[in-house]
């Protein structure tokens, strides 16, 4: 009894001290929500109260539009999920809190790639959370077994299996034809067809030879062929609805980043049993990545700054890193964290990430804001979306349009 009585004032004081911090992000699916909730829980230990400002919409386009509107109205949040080179734009506009003073106390080691991503003009401006691998294919193993089909490691095996599934009334490839999902698929195909050097020449170096290379046409043509093994009801389908089709056995495969694994984990599904992760054909040694990061909006309030500093520190805490990544499907942003207890998909992702980073062959995701600027990204989305929806648009015209965007817009941003 005495113990219980003593516990109450302690709890009250912890709650009374908690400093609210509004966090804008786009983690709204079941798996994403479970992962965000881990951050929220961990922050309570640091007396920070996570005030949720979630903007639905995979890939974060809507979240970024809302963030801009809020900042214009003078109502910026305390923390926001901003990722990729976009961080630099926000920092240059003077909105973001520099983190160099706080980061001296941050625990652990970080990958060189994340160090680059989280610095803007030499100043540390963001805290990394975790790393996604995008070039994954998610499979329903029971369906492959039932129809006695090999697990596909080549595109021809994918199309052979698709024929059997289609005849049986099963959707071979689940897809949500939102612009960002189609762009995610396209960049994966470009990596598959061209390899990481070519991918980087195209999306990072904007090499004119790469922009006009025949491999771009091959990737576009593969995108059209894959459309033929999707169901026509895919317009505006959310990515997690497509994942659900795979887990329900209504569809056999989905190509998407490993946030899909977070979705399956939230339903207590197990890799190797209820679903399989396989690299997209031709990309087993490659890592098409996106890394989630948070930034903090400048504030002159000491309480807010304290909460922001505690937030950054908590994100990098070992327990937070592990629990978050297990729920989200990612690998930790901290390079020193051992992956015991993580499944094979994550182990593979970590291994391939390290190897590719060392070889200078990581492929930064264009569709998930790692490679270009927001203006370039939305123009590419628009072009690919039209191409995907309208079969009469010629491949050559689309390739030319993409080349124009990448070369012309990039000069100006």
Q: Catalog residues that contact ligand BGC under the rule CB under 6 A.
A: 26, 32, 58-60, 132, 259, 290, 292, 368
Looking at beta carbons only, is 102 or 180 nearer to ligand BGC? Answer: 180
Looking at beta carbons only, is 58 or 78 nearer to ligand BGC? Answer: 58
> And the tokens for 45?
């230990």
CB of 82 to ligand BGC, least distance (A): 11
Looking at beta carbons only, is 52 or 218 nearer to ligand BGC? Answer: 52
Any idea what DSSP says for residue 59? G
CB of 136 to ligand BGC, least distance (A): 13
CB of 176 to ligand BGC, least distance (A): 11
Q: What angle do CA 157, 236, 239 make, to 5 degrees?
A: 55
Q: What angle do CA 200, 206, 210 make, to 5 degrees?
A: 75
Q: Is 132 helix (H, G, I), strand (E, B) or coil?
A: strand
Query: β-pairing, 19-25 with 48-54?
Result: parallel
Beta carbons within 10 angstroms of residue 338's beta carbon: 9
Looking at beta carbons only, is 59 or 78 nearer to ligand BGC? Answer: 59
Q: Is 123 helix (H, G, I), strand (E, B) or coil?
A: strand
Rounded Cα gap, residues 295 and 286, in angstroms: 28
Q: Is 193 helix (H, G, I), strand (E, B) or coil?
A: helix
CB of 290 to ligand BGC, least distance (A): 4
Looking at beta carbons only, is 22 or 32 nearer to ligand BGC? Answer: 32
Note whether 136 and 284 are within 8 A (CB). no
CB of 2 to ligand BGC, least distance (A): 46
| Of residues 284, 167, 261, 181, the one with CA closest to residue 223 | 181
CB of 374 to ligand BGC, least distance (A): 13
Looking at beta carbons only, is 184 or 314 nearer to ligand BGC? Answer: 184
Beta carbons within 10 angstroms of residue 144's beta carbon: 19
């Amino acid at each position: 009894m005495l113990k219980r009585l003593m516990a109450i004032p302690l709890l009250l004081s912890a709650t009374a001290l908690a400093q609210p911090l509004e966090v804008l992000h786009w983690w709204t699916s079941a798996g994403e929500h479970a992962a965000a909730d881990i951050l929220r829980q961990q922050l309570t230990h640091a007396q920070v109260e996570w005030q949720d400002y979630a903007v639905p919409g995979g890939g974060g386009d809507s979240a970024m539009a809302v963030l801009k509107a809020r900042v214009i109205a003078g109502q910026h949040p305390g923390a926001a999920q901003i990722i990729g080179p976009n961080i630099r734009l926000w920092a240059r506009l003077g909105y973001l809190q520099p983190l160099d003073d706080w980061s001296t106390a941050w625990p652990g080691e970080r990958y060189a790639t994340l160090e680059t991503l989280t610095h803007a003009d030499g100043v540390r401006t963001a805290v990394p959370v975790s790393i996604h691998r995008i070039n994954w294919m998610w499979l329903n193993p029971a369906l492959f077994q039932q129809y006695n089909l090999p697990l596909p490691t080549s595109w021809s095996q994918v199309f052979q299996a698709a024929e059997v599934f289609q005849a049986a009334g099963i959707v071979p490839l689940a897809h949500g034809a939102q612009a960002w999902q189609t762009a995610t698929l396209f960049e994966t195909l470009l990596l598959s067809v061209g390899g990481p050097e070519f991918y980087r020449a195209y999306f990072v170096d904007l090499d004119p030879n790469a922009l006009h290379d025949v491999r771009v046409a091959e990737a576009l043509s593969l995108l059209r062929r894959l459309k033929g093994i999707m169901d026509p009801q895919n317009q505006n389908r959310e990515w997690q609805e497509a994942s659900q089709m795979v887990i329900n056995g209504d569809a056999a495969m989905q190509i998407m980043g490993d946030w899909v694994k977070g979705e399956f984990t939230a339903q207590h599904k197990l890799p190797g049993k209820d679903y399989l992760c396989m690299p997209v054909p031709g990309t087993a040694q490659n890592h098409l990545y996106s890394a989630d990061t948070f930034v903090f909006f400048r504030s002159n309030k000491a309480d807010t700054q304290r909460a922001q500093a505690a937030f950054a520190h908590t994100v990098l805490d070992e327990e937070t890193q592990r629990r978050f990544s297990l729920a989200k499907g990612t690998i930790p942003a901290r390079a020193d964290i051992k992956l015991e207890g993580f499944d094979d998909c994550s182990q593979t992702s970590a291994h391939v990430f390290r190897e590719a980073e060392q070889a200078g062959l990581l492929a930064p995701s264009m569709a998930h804001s790692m490679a270009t600027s927001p203006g370039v990204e939305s123009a590419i989305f628009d072009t690919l979306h039209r191409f995907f929806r309208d079969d009469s648009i010629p491949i050559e015209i689309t390739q030319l349009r993409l080349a124009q965007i990448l070369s012309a817009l990039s000069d100006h941003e």
